[in-house]
């Protein structure tokens, strides 16, 4: 408990307001650990902290319930930041092990225009080669390849890029983004 209080006090001294990342990851679906690999022996979860996979609409609902939206991405730097929050360093085996971002075609099939859930301008794309493809005709939400099909991500041309998938799929991760505090 004292360590938790110290972290809060230190963050306050640094001028950090609101939520911040402490280095905790869920590398295995049922197990949390610190980024240095040490086991988790204490938790003080905030109300509403999510411990389950979610479909796109479920993830967006969680984000809006805390005052945000699924993340919008407007630059290579933002893309790299989102990757840093969700990259687990594993070889993924299926698309459900990847990460939702807030990009979707909200009025599909009447309108096939991509839009961010936060309403911000779509001014940046980072599609993987050959994407979006909409093979099934139902792929109207976007995910980020936050892990690699190969132990060496450099060989995976999709790594760090986006893919279009069905919104009903459940992903292991998603990133919420709140408006900047001024």
Task: Please give the structure tokens belonging to residue 119.
Answer: 């309403």
> What is the tens place of the pLDDT at every residue in 74-117?
999 999 988 888 776 655 666 667 899 999 999 887 788 999 99
Query: What count of Cα atoms within 13 Å lies in the side-chain half-sphere of residue 158?
Result: 18
pLDDT band with cut points at 50, 70 and 90 for residue 6:
confident
Which residues, in sequence order, are bridge partners of residue 33? 25, 39
- Segment among 9-13, 43-47, 110-114, 141-145 with least mean pLDDT: 43-47
The predicted pLDDT at position 5 comes to 75
**Phi and psi based region of residue 15 (left: phi greater than 0; alpha: psi -120 to 50; beta: remaining):** left
> Which tops the pLDDT comparison, 19 or 72?
72
Domain with CATH 3.10.100.10 in the chain: 50-178
| Rounded mean pLDDT, 127-138 | 89
Q: Cα separation of 159 and 151, whole Å?
A: 11
The predicted pLDDT at position 45 comes to 56
The predicted pLDDT at position 104 comes to 97
Chain-centroid distance of CA 31 in Å reads 18
Q: What are the angstrom distances between the C-alpha of 180 and each of 3, 13, 67? A: 27, 19, 11
The secondary element (H helix, E strand) that includes residue 141 is: strand 141-144
Q: Is the pLDDT of residue 38 over 70?
A: yes
Please provide the distance, in angstroms rounded to a whole number, between the alpha carbons at the two ends of the chain.
31
Q: What is the pTM of this model?
A: 0.70
The predicted pLDDT at position 90 comes to 58
The third-level CATH classification (topology) of the domain covering 50-178 is Mannose-Binding Protein A; Chain A (3.10.100)
């Amino acid at each position: 408990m004292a360590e938790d209080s110290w972290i809060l006090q230190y963050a306050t001294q640094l001028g950090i307001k609101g939520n911040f990342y402490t280095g905790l990851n869920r590398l295995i679906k049922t197990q949390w650990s610190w980024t240095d690999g040490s086991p988790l022996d204490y938790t003080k979860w905030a109300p509403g902290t999510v411990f389950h996979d979610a479909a796109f609409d479920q993830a967006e609902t969680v984000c809006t319930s805390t005052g945000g939206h699924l993340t919008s991405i407007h630059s290579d730097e933002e893309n790299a930041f989102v990757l840093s929050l969700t990259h687990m360093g594993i070889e993924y085996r299926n698309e459900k092990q990847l990460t939702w971002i807030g990009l979707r075609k909200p009025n599909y099939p009447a309108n096939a225009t991509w839009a961010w859930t936060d309403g911000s301008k779509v001014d940046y794309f980072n599609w993987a080669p050959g994407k979006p493809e909409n093979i099934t005709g139902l792929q109207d939400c976007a995910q980020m390849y936050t892990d690699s099909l190969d132990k060496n991500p450099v060989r995976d041309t999709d790594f760090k890029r986006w893919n279009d998938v069905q919104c009903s799929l459940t992903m292991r991760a998603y990133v919420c983004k709140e408006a900047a505090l001024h």
